[in-house]
Structure 1
Amino acid sequence: MTTPNDTSLDTFRPALHYAASNTWLNDPNGLIFHEGIYHLYYQNNPTGTVWGNMSWGHATSTDLLAWTEHPVAIACDEREDIFSGSIVFDRHNTSGFGTAQTPPLVAVYTSAYKAASEHHGIQAQSLAYSLDGGYTWIKHAGNPVLSRGSAEFRDPKVFRYDGDAGSYWVMAAVEAADFQVVLYRSDDLKTWELLSSFGPANGTGGVWECPDLFPLPVDGDPENLKWVLVVNLNPGGPNGGSAGQYFVGDFDGTTFTSSTTVTEGLQDPARLEEYRWLDWGRDYYAAVSFSDAPDNRRLMIGWMNNWQYANEIPTAPWRSPMSLAREVSLRTTDGGPRLVQQVAADLSTTTVPSTLFDLEAVVVSNEALVLDGASGSVQCIHLTLTPGSADEVGLVVRGNGIEGTRIGILPAQGRIFIDRRNSGQVDFHESFASIDSAPIETSDGSYELTIYVDHCSVEVFAQGGLLTLTELVFPAATSTDVSLYAAGGTATFDSLSIKRWA
């Protein structure tokens, strides 16, 4: 975590989230925990603040909050751009890139070949390796190691499979324009054999990108394992533009079989809300998980932006932050197992000073109640509320009486929403000002929300993390009020606590 920075030149730089110092970033790549350090690689333009010159940037952390930026890890050149991929620790040196004493980290990435290459016009999978813990990388002389002759074959996520079918490396990649995840196996990371494919299914409103495949115990029971297949797509999200979906099912070492498919083939727009979405907000995309996270935790990070307006958000001298790291788990619900997401970092350990604001139960009736002493631009807000007779109930963050971001619930409709039409700077792109919503169910008649507010974002975790909404906002530095409101009746805020860093 960095010290909050509200200078006039960099008003929106996040305090709780990672952003590059002065360049563009997008998809997280190569997430791995290695020798006590979390490594975050990412799509990066080393020379600009818009998409281009795709290379892998690099940052490290010991706590998922305080990030140290490093020089570009894997750079583009005249032959290839370095598109998304993953990193594995080849602890048994199956690739031969290291030794038994110094096993390598191996990056599996997409080479997007340029005119100077004999592979011009295709995307294929390539390797690079590191013998110093991930700080310097050597491209494999035999690249590419896997080609389908396709212009849209990308985003390899590799993991080690150990199961009834044997022990080997598995790659999940996409044929993006065909809405397919293709699965391959390898013994040495260099030679790959096709296993199977999955899709099209559910959300197909845009190209498929950045897949991930991993097992999770249901309700923490190691005897009840399910596999989760994450597929990001752009566009086609539930509220427009970029989004991520997931499927729950089984993987036998060869084939992934989904038990949560709603639509075979191309999506049915009328059934969009039946699909399982990682996040219902506009700004959570390309989410993938860490390899080798400690204690078998499944930790994910997403790019906090949307391709509809990504190149135009009003930040300088950087553009695009990452989401907070999230721990994901599977919980049984009436609709089957669903992902639950919680912020992974322990925010109580940060050394940046914070203050606490607590409010006991308060009844709000047809009014907006500004909370004296609760203002802030970097906050974690936790509240429970009972809607009562109100038609709409919620809170406004980063407000000043004129602008603010409204987080509300419509009980009769069973909807939660974020309204950022008056959140500050919204006119830099025609699609940014929006009301984005999701279906929500009560828990014993009440709602529980945990909201992370930063200088340019709001992340909402509802009903214990069964539902999340992530949105960028660009308010004035002076817009720091928090207010509670109820419209069309009375609501009770049963509890409210706010931790503030700025």
Structure 2
Amino acid sequence: MTAISAHEDDIFRPALHYTAKNTWLNDPNGLVYHEGIYHLYYQNNPFGNVWGNVSWGHATSVDLVNWDEQPVAIACDAEEDIFSGSIVIDQYNTSGLGNGQTAPLVAMYTSAYKDSSARRGTQAQSLAWSSDGGYTWTKHHSNPVLDRNSADFRDPKVFRYDGPPGSYWVMVAVEANDHKVVIYSSDNLRDWHYLSSFGPANATGGVWECPDLFPLPLDGDEERTKWILTVNLNPGGPNGGSGGQYFVGHFDGVAFTSETTVTDGSSETAELDAYHWLDWGRDYYAAVSFNNAPDGRRLMVGWMNNWQYGAAIPTWPWRSSMSLVREMSLVTDQGQPRLSQQVADEYRNCGSMSVNTWSGLAIDEGMRHLHPGAPVEIIDVTFLPGSAEEFGLIIRGNGTDGTRIGIRPSENRIITDRTSSGNTEFHESFASIDTAPLRPARDGSYSLKIFVDHCSVEVFAQDGQVTMTGLIFPGPDSTCLSLYAKGGTATAPSLKVARLG
């Protein structure tokens, strides 16, 4: 959480999501766990609440829920903006940058060179290191350490690989306009050698950005570990604007091979439903995972906004927030490996809550108001379809309007409808009805876990196999929670609502 602002118009400041105090933020960078502290770095304009002066902001947490904003970590200068990247703990001082007492943290970031630089118009990978646990950083004198003489080579994610070919550092980055992930290796984090590339593949409706590559055991079986390659694209998401996709396959230390490539990369001739998406909503982008998370957990955070309208959202003095932290697992679904995403367990103890429960709720045609509600709620609900064409919940409502989260059983789809969610007029692209494929469980039921905050809703359906994230900007009195059905009836066998005090 972030400290509550004293600004009287700051009604959308999240209670559960990280925001900067009074500046702009976008992509999460350099996510790392070190000596009991989670470090969240991010793209930040230290001087305003619109994109620009791109530097690395910094926040820390001991529990993933409560975050403390720190001073700017790596600042832009007259020659370069500091674009996205990652951080590793150089435990054995392979870089030679340690002080002999503590392992250095080493950041790899994209230098986006300005007109005043001799490298103007290009992007290359640079290095910085920290000897005080990630609070102050020194740029390397030999930057950039990897240059392809490209205008769109960016977003390095670095990790330590140990396998049959050996033990070394691996970097995945992108050639954004070519829809390619490029893979490099290094023994010392300073000298990099090309290994392979992947792509174009599946969705290519926009530039590729912010890749990640990591292993996960299939169905919890370490003997069946597979590798996940994530890559974000803008535009070209499943419901318009920004989005993130993933591939499941094999990484042998040199090349990634996908088992889930659907097409040769022609988005115009393939259905977006066939691709694997990190999130089907419009407001989950640039997601990357923490390095060195404890207990082998794969924890991921995304930017909760969309480049279509990100600079216009009606918040003040801050603009943009991060998603909740998600824990990733890999499960078998209809014979295919798919990601399952759950909000990190730490959010179960995120503050004082009052809880209401209902059982066996009949949902007739129309709306059924349950209680006045609250701006911040965690909702667990199970539905059983009846004769209704569509049924579900209306959150942050005012009795007539609100954000609709519904199931259309005959179409095997879930929807989030924010066309009447409050303030939707600040940008022509904001009001939307977004959909995703969703099948019932074996018993015909649908289960949803929904996190509602002051300006957002994150939906985790069918045990996190489908997620949808969206911004909303309701009025301060729009707190009602309702059930609804269209064209018939349905049932909610169980409903639990926890309201944050």
8 Å CA contact 1:6–1:13 kept in 2: the answer is no
8 Å CA contact 1:281–1:470 kept in 2: the answer is yes
Following superposition of structure 1 onto structure 2, how do residues 86-165 of structure 1 map, counting pairs within 5 Å? 86-165=86-165
Give 1:275's aligned amino acid: Y
Structure 1 position 212, deviation (Å): 0.1
Structure 1 position 265, deviation (Å): 3.1
Match of 2:437 among 439, 453, 460: 439
Give the distance between the partners of 1:429 and 1:40, measured in 2 at CA. Answer: 29
Give 2:70's aligned amino acid: H
- Alignment-derived partner of residue 278 in structure 1: 278
Structure 1 position 500, deviation (Å): 0.5
- Is 1:32 the counterpart of 2:32? The answer is yes
8 Å CA contact 1:63–1:345 kept in 2: the answer is no
264-273 or 292-301, which deviates more: 264-273
- Is 1:300 the counterpart of 2:318? The answer is no
Match of 1:401 among 399, 402, 407: 399
- Alignment-derived partner of residue 210 in structure 1: 210
Give the distance between the partners of 1:338 and 1:459, measured in 2 at CA. Answer: 19
What secondary structure is seen at the aligned counterpart in 2 of 1:421? coil
Give the distance between the partners of 1:254 and 1:2, measured in 2 at CA. Answer: 41
Give the distance between the partners of 1:303 and 1:269, measured in 2 at CA. Answer: 29
Structure 1 position 378, deviation (Å): 0.4
Taking structure 1 as reference, are residues 481 and 218 closer, same or farther at Cα in structure 2, changes over 3 Å only? same
Show CA shifts across 1:384-416 (max 9, x none).
010111111000000002321000011111110
Give the distance between the partners of 2:335 and 2:419, measured in 1 at CA. Answer: 33
Taking structure 1 as reference, are residues 236 and 109 closer, same or farther at Cα in structure 2, changes over 3 Å only? same
- Alignment-derived partner of residue 254 in structure 2: 254
C-alpha RMSD over aligned residues: 1.1
Give the distance between the partners of 1:496 and 1:402, measured in 2 at CA. Answer: 21
- Is 1:191 the counterpart of 2:191? The answer is yes
Structure 1 position 316, deviation (Å): 0.3
Structure 1 position 368, deviation (Å): 0.7
Give 1:395's aligned amino acid: L
- Alignment-derived partner of residue 168 in structure 1: 168
81-90 or 263-272, which deviates more: 263-272
Taking structure 1 as reference, are residues 495 and 3 closer, same or farther at Cα in structure 2, changes over 3 Å only? farther
Following superposition of structure 1 onto structure 2, how do residues 366-385 of structure 1 map, counting pairs within 5 Å? 366-372=365-371, 375-385=373-383
Show CA shifts across 1:208-230 (max 9, x none).
00000000000011111100000
Please list every run of 5 or more consecutive structure 1 residues that lacks an aligned counterpart in the other structure.
none
8 Å CA contact 1:301–1:323 kept in 2: the answer is yes
- Alignment-derived partner of residue 343 in structure 1: 343
Give 2:477's aligned amino acid: T
102-111 or 340-349, which deviates more: 340-349
Structure 1 position 6, deviation (Å): 9.3
Give the distance between the partners of 2:121 and 2:3, measured in 1 at CA. Answer: 44
8 Å CA contact 1:169–1:186 kept in 2: the answer is yes
Give 1:441's aligned amino acid: R
Structure 1 position 264, deviation (Å): 1.3
Structure 1 position 2, deviation (Å): 4.4
Please list every run of 5 or more consecutive structure 2 residues that lacks an aligned counterpart in the other structure.
none
Give the distance between the partners of 2:48 and 2:371, measured in 1 at CA. Answer: 42
- Alignment-derived partner of residue 263 in structure 1: 263
Structure 1 position 121, deviation (Å): 1.1
What secondary structure is seen at the aligned counterpart in 2 of 1:360? strand
8 Å CA contact 2:364–2:488 kept in 1: the answer is yes
8 Å CA contact 1:6–1:12 kept in 2: the answer is no
Give the distance between the partners of 2:92 and 2:142, measured in 1 at CA. Answer: 20
Structure 1 position 348, deviation (Å): 3.1
91-100 or 49-58, which deviates more: 91-100
- Is 1:420 the counterpart of 2:418? The answer is yes
Give 2:90's aligned amino acid: D
What secondary structure is seen at the aligned counterpart in 2 of 1:120? coil
Seq. identity, %: 65
Give 2:102's aligned amino acid: T
Show CA shifts across 1:400-457 (max 9, x none).
0232100001111111000000101000000100000001000020000000000000
- Alignment-derived partner of residue 236 in structure 2: 236
- Alignment-derived partner of residue 320 in structure 2: 320
- Is 1:491 the counterpart of 2:454? The answer is no
Show CA shifts across 1:231-289 (max 9, x none).
00000001000000000000000000000000113324442110000000000000000
Show CA shifts across 1:113-139 (max 9, x none).
012211111000000000000000000
8 Å CA contact 2:452–2:458 kept in 1: the answer is yes
Taking structure 1 as reference, are residues 274 and 486 closer, same or farther at Cα in structure 2, changes over 3 Å only? same
Q: How many residues align?
A: 500
Give the distance between the partners of 1:270 and 1:226, measured in 2 at CA. Answer: 25
Give the distance between the partners of 2:302 and 2:459, measured in 1 at CA. Answer: 14
What secondary structure is seen at the aligned counterpart in 2 of 1:149? strand
8 Å CA contact 2:2–2:19 kept in 1: the answer is no
- Alignment-derived partner of residue 289 in structure 2: 289
Structure 1 position 3, deviation (Å): 6.6
Structure 1 position 347, deviation (Å): 2.4
Structure 1 position 345, deviation (Å): 3.9
- Alignment-derived partner of residue 83 in structure 1: 83
- Is 1:41 the counterpart of 2:41? The answer is yes
Give 2:402's aligned amino acid: G
- Is 1:334 the counterpart of 2:334? The answer is yes
Structure 1 position 360, deviation (Å): 1.3
Show CA shifts across 1:300-354 (max 9, x none).
000000000010000000000100000000001115100000001422323x321
Give the distance between the partners of 1:372 and 1:77, measured in 2 at CA. Answer: 53
What secondary structure is seen at the aligned counterpart in 1 of 2:26? strand
Give the distance between the partners of 1:75 and 1:422, measured in 2 at CA. Answer: 40
Taking structure 1 as reference, are residues 494 and 7 closer, same or farther at Cα in structure 2, changes over 3 Å only? farther
- Alignment-derived partner of residue 458 in structure 1: 457
Question: How does the TM-score come out when normalised to structure 2?
Answer: 0.98
